[in-house]
């Protein structure tokens, strides 16, 4: 199979979408497929000869996001030269729209995926007035593709209520050999950050931004710090809210920026608990990585996160309407109960090990083959 993947975010950008798409490309190539990735130019050479990098520019107020710049004629010519059996458009902005229209004109089978909770993003950035227009566009966009792959059942239900069609569950996996509690770098990271061997460390991995509910998280963790002054905090990630969080959290918190690969896995393992307050996750990759790392997760029950966590078993989920003090209370309860933490850590790890990338991407590949008429009959939906 020859697949063109069109996305406005890809490695070396650090986020759940780019990591998921990287896993997808790796799986397809191991299966013997030829993959072309079309993505913004981040100043590094393409990973594959057939890849096409699009001139882009970082947003001045949000430099983690690079916006592809038209004209997109070179993109269309690169796709035509590659001659894909199937085009997967992973993002819906200008580059994705141009690729969708080109696929329809060329009558190349095209599928899409849905990754972003636009309702919450609009609310966090105070552009609620744009919701109606955004949803009409997104419905039009995805209903022009043969299938749309969605990471959680909760998101599928929401999209179906809005008139989206042909939705297929595409959950996420985790590398349990990379993310694990017995990481060799755990002690090194804790020592480098000034954490003692007996300190309880609450970790957080995410883009540090308003749409990740950063203010709520800061208030909850500050309340933990006030009640338990010996607790330490570890923030992995960066973004526009980092300065606010650093000012809120004080000297017991460490901010280490973005991490990747083995280094990221060591930083997960350096924590004892994981706190996550985002309301915008269609899945929540970092939550699954934390579970694989043996971390009980205290999170807000929203979107895909509510389907990953097992409250009372792998951690504790608080309701979206709960005040930050309730999340703080759940964290304090686990700080004070090391035996319960160990029990939950074992359950978290066991659950995560059942969520493998190989099985999930294999089922998606079966969908690709069916949609492109390269295999029949069509297999059962992903998940």
CATH code of 197's domain: 3.40.50.2000
Asked whether residue 336 is assigned to any structural domain, the reply reads: yes
Asked whether residue 379 is assigned to any structural domain, the reply reads: no
**Domain limits for position 279:** 186-353
Residues 70 and 196 in one domain: no
Per-residue pLDDT of the chain (383 residues; tens, 9 = 90+): 999 999 999 998 878 899 999 999 999 999 999 999 999 999 999 999 999 999 988 877 556 677 899 999 999 999 999 999 999 999 999 999 999 999 999 999 999 999 876 655 545 445 555 678 889 999 999 999 999 999 999 899 999 999 999 999 999 999 999 999 999 999 999 999 999 999 999 999 999 999 899 999 999 999 999 999 999 999 999 999 999 999 999 999 999 999 999 999 999 999 999 999 998 888 889 999 999 999 999 999 988 898 887 889 999 999 999 999 999 999 999 999 999 999 999 999 999 999 999 999 999 999 999 999 986 444 455 54
Structure tokens at 171: 């959950």
- Residues 6 or more apart in contact with residue 358 via CB below 8 angstroms: 27, 173
Residues 135 and 155 in one domain: yes
Measure the CA–CA gap between 342 and 319, rounded to whole angstroms. 24
Asked whether residue 38 is assigned to any structural domain, the reply reads: yes
Measure the CA–CA gap between 10 and 35, rounded to whole angstroms. 14
Q: How many domains does the chain have?
A: 2
Asked whether residue 145 is assigned to any structural domain, the reply reads: yes
Provide the pairing of β-strand 34-40 with 110-113.
Answer: unpaired
pTM of the model: 0.79
Asked whether residue 21 is assigned to any structural domain, the reply reads: yes
Residues 30 and 169 in one domain: yes
- Could you tell me which of 55, 60, 57 has the C-alpha nearest to residue 78? 55
**3-state secondary structure (DSSP) of residue 261:** helix
CB distance 146 to 109 below 8 Å: yes
Q: Is the peptide bond before 197 cis (omega within 30 degrees of 0)?
A: no
Asked whether residue 179 is assigned to any structural domain, the reply reads: no
Q: Is the dihedral of CA 4, 6, 10, 16 positive or negative?
A: negative
Residues 134 and 212 in one domain: no
């Amino acid at each position: 199979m020859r697949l063109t993947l069109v996305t406005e975010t890809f490695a070396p950008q650090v986020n759940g979408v780019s990591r998921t798409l990287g896993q997808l490309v790796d799986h397809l190539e191991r299966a013997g497929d030829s993959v072309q990735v079309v993505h913004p130019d981040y100043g590094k050479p393409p990973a594959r000869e057939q890849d096409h990098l699009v001139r882009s520019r970082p947003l001045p107020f949000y430099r983690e996001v690079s916006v592809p710049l038209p004209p997109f004629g070179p993109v269309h010519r690169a796709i035509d030269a590659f001659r894909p059996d199937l085009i997967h458009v992973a993002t819906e902005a200008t580059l994705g729209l141009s690729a969708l229209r080109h696929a329809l004109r060329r009558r190349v089978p095209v599928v899409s995926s849905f990754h972003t909770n636009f309702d919450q993003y609009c609310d966090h950035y105070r552009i609620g007035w744009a919701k109606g227009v955004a949803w009409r566009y997104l419905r039009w966009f995805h209903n022009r593709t043969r299938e749309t792959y969605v990471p959680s059942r909760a998101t599928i239900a929401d999209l179906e209520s809005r008139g989206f069609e042909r939705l297929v569950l595409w959950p996420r996996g985790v590398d349990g050999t990379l993310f694990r509690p017995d990481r060799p770098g755990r002690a090194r990271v804790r020592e480098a950050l000034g954490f003692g061997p007996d300190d309880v460390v609450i970790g957080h991995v995410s883009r540090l931004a308003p749409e990740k509910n950063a203010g709520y998280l800061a208030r909850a963790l500050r309340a933990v710090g006030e009640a338990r002054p010996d607790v330490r905090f570890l923030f992995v990630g960066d973004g526009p809210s980092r300065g606010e969080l650093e000012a809120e959290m004080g000297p017991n918190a460490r901010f280490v920026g973005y991490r990747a690969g083995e280094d990221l896995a060591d930083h997960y393992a350096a924590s004892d608990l994981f706190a996550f307050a985002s309301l915008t996750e269609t899945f929540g990759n970092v939550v699954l990585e934390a579970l694989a790392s043996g971390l009980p997760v205290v999170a807000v029950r929203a979107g895909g996160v509510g389907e990953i966590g097992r409250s009372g078993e792998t951690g504790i989920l608080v309701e979206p309407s709960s005040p930050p003090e309730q999340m703080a209370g759940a964290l304090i309860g686990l700080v004070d109960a090391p035996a319960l933490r160990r029990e939950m850590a074992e359950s978290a790890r066991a659950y995560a090990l059942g969520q493998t990338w190989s099985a999930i991407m294999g089922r998606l590949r079966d969908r690709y083959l069916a949609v492109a008429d390269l295999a029949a009959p069509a297999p059962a939906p992903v998940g």
